[in-house]
Amino acid sequence: MDPVTHVLVGITIANFSGSSSSWLNPATVASIVGSLLPDADIVFQLGGDVLYLKHHRGFSHSLVGLSLLSVSAGLFLHQAYNFTPIHVLLLWTFLGCLSHLVIDVLNSYGAQILWPFKRRKFSCGLLTLFDPVITGLLLGGLWGSWLSVRSVSGLVLGYVGFRVVMREMVRTALKQAYAPGAKIAVFPSQLGLLCWDFIIETAEEQIVGYCRWLPRHWETRRRLKRQNENQVINLAKQTKLGQMFCSFSPFVHVFYTQSEDKHIVNFLDLRYFLKNDFMHSATVVFDASLELLDSILHPYHKNRQVRITD
C-alpha cells in the first residue's frame, strides 16, 4: 500500500488511545512510526531490482520481523518520550506495524508473514496499491467532525467486506463462463475499483484477462498453451534464476523455443499485465550441449535486462 494510507491507518489506530492526534501524543508518534517501519526494506533497492524483488515484503513484513522492529523502535522512541512507560510505546509501535502488515496482505502482492518458517507470500487480493475509498474514509475520520474513529473503522471494514463479495461474484461468473473445474485467481485491477484481473489455469492452458463487475463485462488478454515438461525446461527451473522466479510468483507460465543451436526457456509472471504485456519475465538460454549460456531477468519491462549468474 502507499505510504500515505499506511500513515492514515496508523493515526486512526492511535486515536483509539483516547488522546487527540498530535506529535505531542506518544501513541500517535509510535503508531505512525510503526505503520511505516516495515517498508524500511526499500533499502534493498540500492542493491538493484533483483535484491529488492527477492527481499521486499520478506523479513520486515513477517510476524517475527514486526516484533523485532517494534521493540527496536519502541526503545528508540523512549529516549524522546521517557515520561511514557516503555510498554505503552512498544504496544502502539507494534499495533502500527501490525496495521501495515494487514493492509499489505489485503492487496495482491502479499507478504511473507510466516518468514523464516515459510517463504510463501500470503495475499487476500482485495485492494490495489492505492485505494481512494479507504484513503477518503480515513481522511474524513481524521479531519471531519461528523465521523468518529469507530464509525470510520466500521465503514472501512464494510468496504473491505463489499470487495470480498464483489470478488466472489466475479469468480463465480468466471467459473460459469470459462471452465467450472479450473483453478481461478482474481486480483484487483488498476483499471478501476469495479474491475478485476483474473488468471484461469486448466490442464491445457492458462488464461489471463480482466472482468468488470458492473456493467458486467470480461475480456481475455492472453490464452497461453501449456507445454509438456522436457529436459530443457527442467534444467531452466533448476537454475538460480528459474528457482528465484518460480518462488517470486505463484502464477508462472513457462515455454520453450529452439533457435538454431540454442535452447531458450522463457518465464512469465502472469499476475501483472500492463500496456499489453506482462510486467515481469525472465529468459534462460542453453547451447546445443545444454550448457547454460545466459540467464536474464526482465523486471518491470521486457526491455530491462539484469543478468543472473549461477
94-104 per-position pLDDT tens digit: 999 999 999 99
Provide mean pLDDT across the span 217-240: 95
Q: Largest Cα–Cα distance of the chain, in whole Å?
A: 74
Residue predicted with more confidence, 290 or 109: 290
| Cis bond upstream, residue 116 (ω within 30) | yes
Q: How many CB atoms lie within 10 A of CB 295?
A: 22
Lowest mean pLDDT among 69-73, 140-144, 219-223, 257-261: 140-144
**Percent of the chain whose pLDDT exceeds 90:** 76
Q: Which band of pLDDT confidence, cut at 50, 70 and 90, is reported for residue 146? A: low
Query: Domain spans of the chain?
Result: 3-124, 161-225, 231-307
Provide mean pLDDT across the span 224-243: 96
CATH of domain 161-225: 3.10.450
Query: pLDDT, tens digit, for every residue of 18-42?
Result: 777 777 889 999 999 999 999 999 9
Give the C-alpha separation, 262 to 264, whole Å.
Answer: 6
Q: Which band of pLDDT confidence, cut at 50, 70 and 90, is reported for residue 145? A: low
Residue 207 three-state SS: strand
- Has residue 141 got a pLDDT over 90? no
- Has residue 216 got a pLDDT over 90? no
- Has residue 178 got a pLDDT over 90? no
pTM: 0.89
**Could you identify the residue written with the cell 529452439?**
258
Q: What is the pLDDT of residue 281?
A: 97
**Could you identify the residue written with the cell 528457482?**
243
Q: What is the pLDDT of residue 138?
A: 94
Q: What is the pLDDT of residue 241?
A: 96
Lowest mean pLDDT among 72-81, 91-100, 178-187, 198-207: 178-187
Q: What is the pLDDT of residue 48?
A: 87
In 81-148, alpha helices (H): 86-106, 132-143
Q: Which band of pLDDT confidence, cut at 50, 70 and 90, is reported for residue 266? A: very high
Give the C-alpha separation, 154 to 121, whole Å.
Answer: 27
**Percent of the chain whose pLDDT exceeds 70:** 98
- Has residue 283 got a pLDDT over 80? yes
- Has residue 195 got a pLDDT over 90? yes
Q: What is the pLDDT of residue 19?
A: 73
Closest-CA residue to 17 (of 85, 67, 117): 85
Rg from Cα positions in the chain = 22
Closest-CA residue to 185 (of 202, 170, 198): 198
Q: Residue 119: in which H helix or E strand, if any?
A: none
